[in-house]
Amino acid sequence: MLSEIGIKMLKIQNIINCKLKIKDDSGVKDISVKEIINNRFIVLFGVPGAFTPTCSVKHLPSYIKNYKDIHSLGVDEIICVSVNDPFVMHAWGKFNNTQNKITMMSDVGGNLARAMGIEANFGPNLLIRMERFSLIIKENEIKYFIKDERGSYGKTSAENMIFELKNIS
């Protein structure tokens, strides 16, 4: 039932024009959510911060471990996003060997986090970030949206997304 509540709270129109950044070997590029989802099947998950304990030890590794299972369910792309700069997200991805598995994107300034209603103050070390979440978008429609309570992990894991993906038509 949480997914139904999340879907009602978050509409694709709220986030479609948000811009994210991605760094690759040719530099940093801006890309809109509209361009990312464009009639595709996407799993997008967000973390409070790259190189932080839960994000680095549990959340991102769950997607790295399960990326083949997620793609086997028809998903076109798995995207990890955080309110970090694109250089940090690129470095975190390289450090964790996400190439050809998970696309690492940056929500510089927290525009996506604000549009989703998941912007949060994480205190003097992390400052303003996004809450931990997972989102499934298929053919330009939000099919599932959930977030974990601060300090928690599990609802937004790859294992839970695999379960939810099996229920999406």
Catalytic residues: 55
> b/e per residue, 98-122, with b = 16+ CB within 10 A?
beebbbbbbbbebbbbbbbebbbeb
Q: Which residue has the tokens 């696309």?
A: 103
Alpha helices in 20-168 (DSSP H): 33-37, 53-54, 60-72, 86-95, 111-116, 123-126, 158-165
